[in-house]
Chain A
């Protein structure tokens, strides 16, 4: 099973060239042992060593790609159980289920709705990933639906069928799209695996429970197909949570090879809101992809927001560019708010300024993406630094007045800031939530 760093080190080329990333071969060996690197990144390792290292050198969860061209969804390749241990890397793929029984008009409508699922909020763009076509009738009907969906969207495709004959026909009409074929089961896995190999597409495998999934995965791997997506077959929220936790733990903690692949979960709730909450559980708890039926915007936006939040790197806060932002129809008399470039801080201020209905300029000072108090405590939000930004960003050319509004928490900076910048400093409210009241009393007509 798992090898130690030293055992791996003995088989490495010992050039210490650093081309793999870590500075020395020993460091690389340690990363491999921890499952945080892949042997492929070393250009000099011998085939014999590769063979000897085998599974010990592979990442715990294989990276599997679905789709081709403009839309490729990457699943798996995760290394931790808690996001605070490092980060989660590949956001859960969300697939929208479309049944092949829909008539022409319904199908067109549904695809349009799914294609339209793009959102922008707080400076970020959210996109969706996949369309899953589900077989409910005969092979011909399934093939026809797949053909239409393939023509109607650039999103990655999932083919949901357990009938190898229908799968073969459907694969024929979406060659080059690299769809996920779902699913191989105990009764059809020979044929399905052959098809997945023939078309070189990833294969979903579905069992009755997690123990049978282990057996089935071993059989499919033995047939020589290794682009897999696992489904334990559980459908109740609590059981899926347990199974997904087991799949993740077994690979990360035990390097259990049959489970070293991305996972898929299916929602069951009829009510779209309940369905979104169920999907949230699976996104939170390790599902590499989730298949949902709902595709209306107001339901999907909260779900995508959570996915984005969860997959944010805890060590790299999201930042906005340090420049002048204009909110509303600003004039030369509009107020100027100061904040930091931590995106959460900036957008809290922006939201409240917008809500105040007083057009204004906002200048986020670059603080490496830290909040006002954090930056202040770390010496990144000093009077000198703020003054330098005010005088270099060009705000003096945009306004007639010489007043800047400082966050209330750093009121202590105001004297020095006036002195350094030459601008009059107004101490604003401590919380952004106080901005509307502040703006109304000070600038309201």
Chain B
């Protein structure tokens, strides 16, 4: 008998989400970027459409990054200057988006004011033309203050703002709605909380195509398989018509991968793992690439070499495999 290709038919698709806004839409970005829109499981071009490739956002912090030495070393000429850092990521490493993390807002750290944080974001908006993702320092109260200020001051730019959580989503959702930004909804590796949070945010009036899911991944070797399976289920939910799971997915790859000692440990005692200079970037790239297999749409990354590997992987996967 002759083999007949087995094709699945899905009833729905992933929402298409737009990042950034050009001058026609009230922003200053040189171009917008679209993610999502898939009508099939990852890269099965033979049975559906993958209209947008996953994108890579490179991380820039507003204060000297608290990163492992070998990673930090890669940005030694720019890490004290967020705008120069952002420019380098875009121009030299071809980052699709800049992911700015405002660690400087931390009340236990530099404790920068909302105005100072807004300055930094505006400076980066001026320095680069790509869309921006903006994350707070992680201290809820301060983040609400800082991020709502930024949302207001940067109205029209269609930033992607992180993070709304189950216990803290109202101010950010309202700010995104009023000032027309996109919101990242973070849930702790739990598909039910993920769905519930999207419902709550949507009920506030933020449209579904202004929400992106952060499933809170684990890095390679540290629970990545939980994220892998949850993301597979989220994507399947989207294709089968579950509107509250139909958002594109964003993954904090750089943060998680570089927490692993397998990524950053160097020297004699780690010789049995080989050279850090190869192992480290590969650890991050491998984390990204496995999640790309679940349908990750936005990868938040750090190391230039890992970024390059992920870009190459994406380019290969975007080639047609139609029968």
Contact = CB atoms under 8 A, between A and B. Distances in A.
Contact of B313 (A120, A236, A277): A277
A160 to B, nearest CB: 24
Contacts of B323: 210, 242
B293 A296 contact: no
Contacts of A301: 262, 273-274, 279
Given A254-B6, A256-B3, A284-B293, A310 B282 contact: no
Interface stretch (B81-89, B196-204, B220-228): B220-228
B286 A242 contact: no
A83 B218 contact: no
B54 interface: no
A121 B221 CA distance: 9
A303 B316 contact: no
Interface residues of B, number: 52
A243 B44 CA distance: 10
A214 interface: yes
Contact of B316 (A213, A238, A296): A238
A43 B290 CA distance: 43
A426 B3 CA distance: 65
Contacts of A325: none
Contacts of A121: 221, 262, 273
Contact of A211 (B3, B223, B286): B3
Contact of A299 (B223, B274, B289, B317): B274
A273 to B, nearest CB: 5
A120 B262 CA distance: 11
A254 B8 CA distance: 12
Nearest to A355: B261
Interface of A is mostly: helix
Interface in A349-381: 351, 354-355
Given A298-B278, A306-B220, A84 B233 contact: yes
B309 A277 contact: yes
Contact of B45 (A213, A214, A242): A242
B275 interface: yes
Contacts of B285: 273, 277
A274 B308 CA distance: 10
Interface stretch (A64-72, A244-252, A333-341): A244-252
A238 B45 contact: yes
Nearest to B221: A305
Contacts of B43: 238, 241-242
A245 to B, nearest CB: 6
Interface string B269-295: 000111110110111011001100100
Interface of A: 82-84, 119-122, 210-211, 213-215, 218, 236-239, 241-243, 245-246, 249-250, 253-254, 256, 258-259, 272-274, 276-278, 280-281, 284-285, 296-303, 305-306, 309-310, 312, 314, 344, 347-348, 351, 354-355, 433
30 contacts: A83-B228, A84-B232, A119-B273, A120-B272, A121-B262, A236-B321, A238-B43, A238-B318, A238-B320, A241-B317, A249-B6, A254-B6, A273-B285, A273-B305, A276-B282, A276-B286, A277-B312, A280-B286, A281-B293, A281-B317, A297-B274, A299-B282, A302-B279, A309-B220, A309-B221, A312-B225, A344-B218, A344-B222, A351-B260, A351-B261
5 nearest A-B residue pairs (beta carbon): A298-B274, A297-B274, A242-B321, A214-B3, A298-B279
